[in-house]
Amino acid sequence: MLTRLLAGSAAIALMAGAAQADYTLHVLHINDFHSRIEPINRFDSTCSAAEDAEGKCFGGAARLASAINTLRDRLRAAGQNVIVLDAGDQYQGSLFYTTYKGAAEGELMAAIGFDAMAVGNHEFDDGPDGLAVLLDKVSFPVISGNIDVERAAALKGRVRDHVVLEVGGERIGIVSALTVDTIEIASPGPDVTFTAAIEALGADAAALTAAGVNKIIALTHVGLPTDLQIAAAVPHIDAVVGGHSHTWLSASDPGRQGAYPTFVTGHDGALVPVVQAYAYGKYLGHLVLTFDDAGNLLHAQGDTILLDASVAPDPAIAARVADLAGPIEEVKARVVAETAAEIDGSRDSCRQRECAMGNLIAEAMLDRVRAQGIQIAIQNGGGLRASIDAGPVTMGEVLTVLPFQNTLSTFQVTGATILAALENGVGRVEEGSGRFPQVAGLRYTFDPALPAGQRVSDVMVNEGGTWGPIDPARVYGVVSNNFLRQGGDGYRMFLQAENAYDYGPDLADVTAAFLAKSGTYAPVLDGRITRK
């Protein structure tokens, strides 16, 4: 299938380039790989050997390398111009990151041969030093124009605002921006400062234009809604290649989340194509841009290419992945529980409404500390990174769902603070924000049509098996994860909590133990969260 798809897309692009413009550029791109170095299954979790044997796996570093090399080599052999871009978030999502902390991701990116990468928020999960691990492994530029890292010793002089690539005798400017929410959703620390994405991109694009660069791509990690704003507002940008929102755009599949490319009327009235390629290496984006002699974009087309079992993995990369997997295979393979049905942990569910995975994690947290007088559990939906299919549950699957090594946090706050936390959690639901609150020991209703800060109603707390209205003045015991308790995802109201203890057991271990004692776990949706 890959040969047919690649040959078809290349042929179309070649004809477009020959007929319409003096210069054609092929942009191969991924985003939000999230350490899915091994192939994934349909739940975006690590694919088992049995699933692999049945041809049910997608992506993985070896398959991604094969797809990129096949298409890149074919296009270059035909005299075409090709660049390979990554829109950020290589980090976090599997035991490879937990074990190697970015070294494996960096090594494999270098082997595949990317031309540029945008910094993603998860590249800061282990602070500036964590991003430096990847930088040590790669020679291509890693860029972000709206962050200043010069006070961070590990990054000083190593993250550029933008880059100019020389391709086929033309200069291609790549500008970049990172979501400013990184301050809340990761750990960049006080020595990394941010400016607004549109402001920074505008300044960098203007500087490149003044230097005579007339073909500029924004490589961003801000999410599709902001990408659309960038395309509309920032002069001189010819295309936006984005990430962060895990949006699947397609020109051919009716199951898509939007068109590939999605066109936006730009600052000067010209159409600006915006693309994104879902996440986890499941798809490879292929955007074809055709320009006239003056650098005006005449045409844009392309598609996301599914990297399924028809794509043969690159043997050398597959062998290296197997070497890297050796030390962690025993942990991954250990069966910890059984589930009677799929446990839905998809971002489309867990960042919008009550989801089965959210209920599992919140109940596991509350079960662990209920004897300490804790009544309420709150878990951010963005902390849930995959679903689990029916049948045996391995520790590897649990760690794929909960890869962040977050620890259990217990604390005390008033009912008024809990109400503020819930408002924060649903305040950006229309954006698919990861702050959405999954809960246990609590029920609530929210209306996304109301203004942010006024959406939550009918909040009830379970007291010894009886549900009653929350009392804003009363102090409640709460369990969450250390990320939320320390103000992550906008939960700053928890920073002043009383009797806070952030160093409990790892959330993945808590969940595995809860599943193990449940016998055959039956996922549940019970109406604890009502969306109007």
Residues 21-57 have pLDDT tens digits of 489 999 999 999 999 999 999 888 888 888 989 999 9
Residue 323 buriedness (CB in 10 A; 0-12 / 13-18 / 19+): exposed
Pair (146, 83) in one structural domain: yes
Letter for the amino acid at 140? F
For residue 49, the model assigns a pLDDT of: 85
Residues 216, 82 share a domain:
yes
Distance of CA 432 to the CA centre of its chain: 12
500 and 402 in a single domain? The answer is yes
At residue 115, the pLDDT reads: 98
Give Cβ neighbours of residue 160 (< 8 Å, ≥ 6 apart): 141, 142, 143
Which residues fall within 8 angstroms of residue 167, CB to CB, at 6 or more apart? Answer: 25, 81, 82, 83
Tokens of 183: 């301050």
Residue 520 lies in a domain: yes
Please, are residues 415 and 473 in contact by the beta-carbon 8 Å criterion?
yes
In a domain, 256, yes or no: yes
Q: Is residue 308 domain-shared with residue 441, that is, in the same domain?
A: no
Please report the pLDDT score of residue 531 as a whole number: 97
Instruction: Return the closest-CA partner of residue 378 out of 334, 427, 442, 314.
Output: 442
**CA–CA separation, 353 and 129 (whole Å):** 35
- Note whether residue 522 is domain-resident: yes
Last residue within a domain, chosen from 292, 323, 354: 323
Query: Among 323, 348, 377, where does a domain finish?
Result: 323
pLDDT at 265: 98
Q: What is the pLDDT of residue 506?
A: 87
Residue 182 to residues 178, 383, 484, Cα–Cα distance (Å): 8, 14, 14
The residue segments making up the domain with residue 523 are 335-531
Per-residue pLDDT at 14: 37
Helix (H) or strand (E) holding 224: helix 224-233
- Residue listed under structure tokens 């909040």: 459
pLDDT score at 12: 37
Please tell me what DSSP assigns to residue 114. -
As a whole number of angstroms, the distance between CA 134 and CA 108 comes to: 10
Identify whether residues 75 and 142 lie together within a single domain.
Answer: yes
d(CA 507, CA 408): 6
**pLDDT, position 43:** 83
CATH (domain of 358)? 3.90.780.10
Domain count for the chain, please give it: 2
Q: Which residues of the chain have pLDDT under 70?
A: 1-21
Q: Which amino acid is at 447?
A: D
Would 68 be classed as within a structural domain? Answer: yes
Same domain? 140 vs 119: yes
Question: What phi and psi values does residue 219 have, to the nearest 5 degrees?
Answer: -105, 105
Rounded CA-CA distance 310/329 in Å is: 25
Distance from C-alpha of 109 to C-alpha of 286, rounded to nearest angstrom:
18
Confidence (pLDDT) at 5? 42
Last residue of a domain, one of 293, 323, 353: 323
- What pLDDT is attached to residue 332? 84
The rounded percent of the chain whose pLDDT value lies above 70 is 96
Residue 328 lies in a domain: no
Residue 141 near residue 82 (C-beta atoms within 8 A) = no
Q: Is residue 292 part of a domain?
A: yes
Residue 116 lies in a domain: yes
Within a domain: 194? yes
* 8-state DSSP, 388: B
Whether residues 315 and 341 share a domain: the answer is: no
169, 132: one domain = yes
* Same-domain pairing of 308 and 454: no
241 and 130 co-located in one domain: yes
Cα–Cα dist 189/418, whole Å: 26
Q: Are residues 319 and 344 in the same domain?
A: no
In the block, which residue shows the tokens 């109007």? 532
**Together in a domain, 210 and 341:** no
CATH assignment of the domain containing 265 = 3.60.21.10
